[in-house]
Amino acid sequence: MRVLFGFLSGLLFGLGLVVSGMANPAKVLSFLDLFGAWDPSLIFVMGGAVVVTFVGYRLVLKRSAPMFMSGFDLPGTRLIDARLVLGAMVFGIGWGIGGYCPGPALTALPLLAPGTLVFVPAMLVGIWGGVILRGSTLFTRNQKEATA
Amino acid sequence: MPLVATEFTPWSALAGGVLIGLSSVMLMLFFGRIAGIIGVVARAVSAVAVPAIDRNWRIAFIVGLFAAPLTVMAITGSPVEQTVSDNLPLMAFAGLLVGFGTALGFGCTSGHGVCGLARLSRRSMVSVAVFMGAAIATVYILRHATGVL
């Protein structure tokens, strides 16, 4: 059951990315190109997704537990630290170069564009590096550990 | 990246956004987890260790992502429109930055951008402002200031 519903959730998420145009890096870069031929479509993607999630979370979180797990697991930390800001900055630069954030890159993998086929493995390497660095003492000394 | 102008498509953008939102709500209803793609991937590939029960649905989620463009092509009978840069070293570098940055910063466009903003998280608001600003500045520098792309 978990696997089936995980698959269906992923399918729906991916359909949203394809339908909205986010799986097309050219469209994402046009959105980020405020000083060029700007395409504001992505505001509508974000807006639609945030409003539906805002309302849906309020309904779902009234339950005592989710359907297939013993409890809700929400990020509890409110820490705004160097990891959060540095990470977002590095991510933004990569997003601006390639036009892919993680979800669209994975979703577009079966389309087999050469750029996607090198982007995704590099992204996995980056994830390993980022996870290792965020747990290192460089950042976690004297700090409560963040989650997510 | 070849400079490709795209059309403003508010309705398909909104429809896609609603589907993404519904999927995020489903993940919370079924599994009680944030629909942050980078978090899902990090646990699916065990970069972050989780019990098998909390890993298998994430692998299935990613298979679902893969199935999406194939489903759209099967229904519409036409290829999914896409322009991806052919500059492979540059795309590899971009992928490295995206993976590293989102893992270090605990989230990406979906985790901070959709789920975090929907939870009115201050942390996510900071993250979104920083990555949007960095991405817009990067595109400006590459396209207009230097003309690299």
Q: B70 exposed, middle or buried (CB, 10 Å; 0-12, 13-18, 19+)?
A: middle
pTM for the full predicted model: 0.94
Among candidates B26, B30, B117, which has minimal Cα distance to A56?
A: B26
Give me the pLDDT at residue A144, please.
Answer: 54
Among candidates A43, A49, A29, which has minimal Cα distance to A99?
A: A29
- A142: confidence class by pLDDT, cuts 50, 70, 90: low
Say which residues have a Cβ less than 8 Å from residue B62's Cβ, sequence separation at least 6: A10, A106, B40, B41, B44
Assigned token pair, B93? 């570098």
* Span B46-53, average pLDDT: 90
Q: What angle do CA B73, B77, B82 make, to 5 degrees?
A: 50
Whether residue A95 is predicted with pLDDT greater than 60 in this model: the reply is yes
| Residues A23-65 pLDDT 10s | 999 999 999 999 988 999 999 999 999 999 999 999 999 999 9
- How many other C-beta atoms lie within 10 A of the C-beta of residue B3? 14
Whether residue B103 is predicted with pLDDT greater than 90 in this model: the reply is yes
Give me the pLDDT at residue A136, please.
Answer: 87
Whether residue B118 is predicted with pLDDT greater than 80 in this model: the reply is yes
User: What percentage of chain B exceeds 90 in pLDDT?
Assistant: 89
E-only strand ranges, chain A: none
Range from A8-12, A74-78, B92-96 carrying the lowest mean pLDDT: A74-78
Whether residue B75 is predicted with pLDDT greater than 70 in this model: the reply is yes
Give me the pLDDT at residue B5, please.
Answer: 84
Give me the pLDDT at residue A143, please.
Answer: 54
Candidates B97, B115, B143, B146: best to mutate against A (most CBs of A within 10 A) is B97
Residues paired with B33 in a beta bridge:
A73
Is A9's CB within 8 Å of B64's CB?
yes
Distance from CA of A82 to the nearest CA of B (A): 9
Distance from CA of B123 to the nearest CA of A (A): 6
- The CA distance from A105 to B92, in Å, is 12
Give me the pLDDT at residue B146, please.
Answer: 84
Whether residue B149 is predicted with pLDDT greater than 70 in this model: the reply is no
Say which residues have a Cβ less than 8 Å from residue B27's Cβ, sequence separation at least 6: A9, B33, B34, B35, B61
Assigned token pair, B147? 């003309």
User: What percentage of chain A exceeds 90 in pLDDT?
Assistant: 84
Kindly calculate the radius of gyration of chain B based on its CA atoms and give it in whole angstroms.
17
